[in-house]
Amino acid sequence: MAKLSEEIKTAIGTIRPSLVATASKTGKPNVSAKGSLRILDDEHVLFADVASPRTVKNIKENPQVAIICLDAKERKGCRIWGKGEVLSSGEIFDKVAAELAARNMKLNNVVKVTVEEAEII
């Protein structure tokens, strides 16, 4: 596991949306914009699955995930590589579900990503 630097945490907290790349077990890629990417702790990030069936399917088949947070105007941001885990219950799920319910949104899953590598770009 890699620890997220303060600079990376700042990028994740300010840049929207982030792009999450996954691949199926056969290697077919998928990229999905995520406005919900956030820090869970020093070694994990998470995002909400509100309408991401292909992303979730891919992570269940192949947990490898790549994320880029890029401020196109400034040409700055970060990249994260890690392993995703789909959560459909539990404390983290309940917290995110309550936040989204307050915005009239229904949560399907939460994807927790264990950060293996992260860098500023």
Query: Which pLDDT does position 84 carry in this prediction?
Result: 98
Q: Is residue 1 part of a domain?
A: no
* Residue 27 Ramachandran class (φ > 0 left, ψ -120 to 50 alpha, else beta): left
Q: pTM here?
A: 0.94
Q: What is the signed CA dihedral for 62, 72, 34, 61, rounded to 10 degrees?
A: -10
Q: Is residue 89 part of a domain?
A: yes
Q: Is residue 43 part of a domain?
A: yes
- For residue 35, the enclosing domain spans 6-120
Q: Tokens 């105007």 belong to which residue?
A: 73
Strand order through the sheet with 18-23? 29-34, 18-23, 64-71, 76-87, 109-120, 44-49, 38-41
Q: Is residue 36 part of a domain?
A: yes
Which pLDDT tens digit goes with each residue over 53-79?
999 999 999 999 999 999 988 889 999
Return the CATH number at 56: 2.30.110.10
Q: How many domains does the chain have?
A: 1
Which pLDDT tens digit goes with each residue over 8-64?
999 999 999 999 999 999 999 999 999 999 999 999 999 999 999 999 999 999 999
